[in-house]
């Protein structure tokens, strides 16, 4: 099936998300709440695009819009740019000092003198990507709590959560680096909970929490074996392959 995005003819599979098709064809659509590793959320709405389908024009969130037929898409029309400007104005009002938001704000010509301005310490834009990442992982240690101006992402009662394994996936996917994760002296602190880090048995570098390793071993049904960091794991695989090659040639 073929669709047209900004005048470019793109190959598409039925049911594939519009954002995915655009990215595969190097057509840039801005996003904040999107991670390739997770299902689309459609929460930040920056990925809005105009779709012309059988003579009807509509505005859709491209990360959650499954393509079903031959459509024409406009990702940077005047209407879309105006929607993004309004959204960025709201995001800027919430997180006025955030670098990611300010970069997009400038790109879309949103002035910095808007009437309402939030806490300069605030970086969370409540996109929900961290909550989704934790949920997909199977921990569900964090969620969105409260309403209105007090709405935020937190562990239950802001207490250290027994569900949290300190993996840091939530901080890793956060588009604005709003989640504080600190590592000092072999310890990692996140969401008010401090974890001991396990050292790599090869290079000695602290690399993961004990809870994280136990969790992934349980989930993957594997035995702990040697606790190795990603770099050493790759080196071990490389050495094994080299060994096999030398023995068979």
Question: Kind of pairing, strands 193-199 and 206-209?
Answer: antiparallel
* In the complex, least distance from residue 161 CB atom to ligand SF4, rounded to whole angstroms: 7
* In the complex, least distance from residue 169 CB atom to ligand SF4, rounded to whole angstroms: 4
In terms of CB distance, is 89 or 154 closer to ligand SF4?
154
Contacts of 84 (CB under 8 A, 6+ apart): 30, 46, 48, 108
* In the complex, least distance from residue 153 CB atom to ligand SF4, rounded to whole angstroms: 9
* In the complex, least distance from residue 71 CB atom to ligand SF4, rounded to whole angstroms: 36
Q: List beta partners, residue 9.
A: 4
In terms of CB distance, is 168 or 175 closer to ligand SF4?
168
Secondary structure (3-state) at 214: helix
* In the complex, least distance from residue 155 CB atom to ligand SF4, rounded to whole angstroms: 7
Question: Following CA atoms 75, 78, 81, 85 in sequence, which dihedral angle do they give, to the nearest 10 degrees?
Answer: -160
> Interface residues with ligand SF4 (CB under 6 A)?
133-134, 137, 139, 141-142, 164-170, 190-191
In terms of CB distance, is 74 or 191 closer to ligand SF4?
191
Cα–Cα distances (Å) from 61 to 22, 46, 73, 103, 224, in that order, read 13, 8, 12, 21, 42
Q: Are 160 and 211 within 8 A, CB to CB?
A: no
Q: d(Cα 249, Cα 243) in Å, to the nearest integer?
A: 10
In terms of CB distance, is 80 or 131 closer to ligand SF4?
131
In terms of CB distance, is 67 or 190 closer to ligand SF4?
190
* In the complex, least distance from residue 211 CB atom to ligand SF4, rounded to whole angstroms: 8
Q: Are 192 and 164 within 8 A, CB to CB?
A: no
In terms of CB distance, is 49 or 197 closer to ligand SF4?
197
């Amino acid at each position: 099936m073929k669709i047209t995005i900004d005048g470019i003819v793109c190959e598409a599979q039925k049911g594939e998300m519009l954002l995915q098709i655009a990215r595969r064809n190097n057509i840039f659509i801005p996003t904040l709440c999107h991670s390739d590793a997770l299902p689309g959320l459609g929460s930040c709405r920056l990925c809005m695009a105009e779709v012309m389908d059988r003579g009807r024009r509509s505005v859709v969130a491209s990360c959650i819009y499954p393509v079903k037929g031959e459509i024409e898409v406009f990702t940077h029309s005047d209407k879309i740019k105006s929607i993004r400007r309004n959204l960025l104005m709201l995001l800027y009002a919430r997180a006025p000092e955030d670098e990611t938001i300010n970069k997009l704000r400038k790109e879309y010509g949103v002035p910095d003198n808007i009437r309402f301005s939030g806490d300069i310490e605030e970086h969370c834009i409540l996109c929900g990507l961290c909550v989704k990442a934790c949920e997909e992982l199977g921990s569900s240690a964090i969620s969105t709590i409260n309403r209105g101006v007090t709405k935020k992402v937190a562990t239950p009662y802001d207490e250290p959560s027994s569900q949290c394994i300190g993996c840091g996936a939530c901080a890793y996917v956060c588009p604005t680096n709003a989640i504080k994760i600190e590592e000092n002296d072999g310890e990692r602190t996140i969401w008010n909970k401090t974890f001991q880090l396990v050292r790599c048995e090869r290079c000695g570098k602290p690399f993961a929490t004990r809870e994280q390793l136990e969790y992934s071993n349980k989930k993957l049904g594997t035995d702990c074996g040697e606790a190795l960091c990603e770099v050493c794991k790759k080196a071990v695989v490389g050495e094994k392959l080299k060994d096999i090659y030398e023995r068979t040639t």
